[in-house]
Amino acid sequence: MKNLIAYTTQNLTSNQIIDMFVKGVSKNSNKWNVKKLDINEFLRFGFPKNTDAIVVHGILRGTGLAVKEAIKNRIDYFYIDHAYFDAGYKGEFWNRVSKNRHTMNYVREVNDIRWDTIKNNIKIEPWKKNRNRGKNILIIPPTHAIQWFFNDKEWYKNVILYLSKQFDDKFMNRVKVRKKPNDPVVDNYGNLLGFKKIKTENQSSLEED
């Protein structure tokens, strides 16, 4: 059997999600020996010997460091975070699980069971061709936490610099930047320090932009 280490943190909701994942694996697979550990065990001692895979929820509170270490040592990791539909943690909510990646950047054939449970609550607009869309070019910078995780704290600066070199002022005047209203700020270890409030009083809605 392979050894899967599931890391918990001080966050109650995160731990509930990890618990559900562990129960699902334990019930439906006989290929994994699953062990739950507090993330502080990793921060103090690293991964246990013979770890084949880890599972974490989010990148804060040390879990991001664990993912980075797994990548470095070529250990499989299962990353859990907000779902693409019905994101959030109130009531019945969805989470996504990605293996060895941060987001799902591909599409494959799946059955309709999951989609059928939420499609009545979600309105999917038809794809708009260029002539039907607005002229704005939206840039939505990654949060401070994501910049830390991907070691790219100059992402926004570099994107603007690249665009300004490639395009004229007419193009650049169409660029609008939309930052996350509550930007999670982390230290060099991925520990959450707090949230930076971004003023949005005079900002147009996403649909208007």
pLDDT tens for 136-181 read: 999 999 999 999 999 998 999 999 999 999 999 999 999 998 988 8
Q: What is the pLDDT of residue 108?
A: 76
Q: Give the distance from CA 33 to its chain's centroid.
A: 26
Q: pLDDT tens digits for 109-140?
A: 777 887 787 777 788 888 888 788 888 999 99
Task: Assess contact for 124 and 102: CB atoms under 8 A.
Answer: no
Sign of CA pseudo-dihedral 29, 34, 38, 41: negative
DSSP secondary structure code for residue 50 in this structure: T
**Beta partners for 195?**
184
The mean pLDDT value for 73-90 works out to: 87
Q: For the purposes of burial, counting CB atoms within 10 Å of the CB of 175, is it exposed (0-12), middle (13-18) or buried (19 or more)? A: middle
For residue 74, pLDDT beyond 90: yes
Per-residue pLDDT at 109: 77
Q: Which pLDDT value is given to residue 132?
A: 80
pTM to 2 decimal places: 0.84
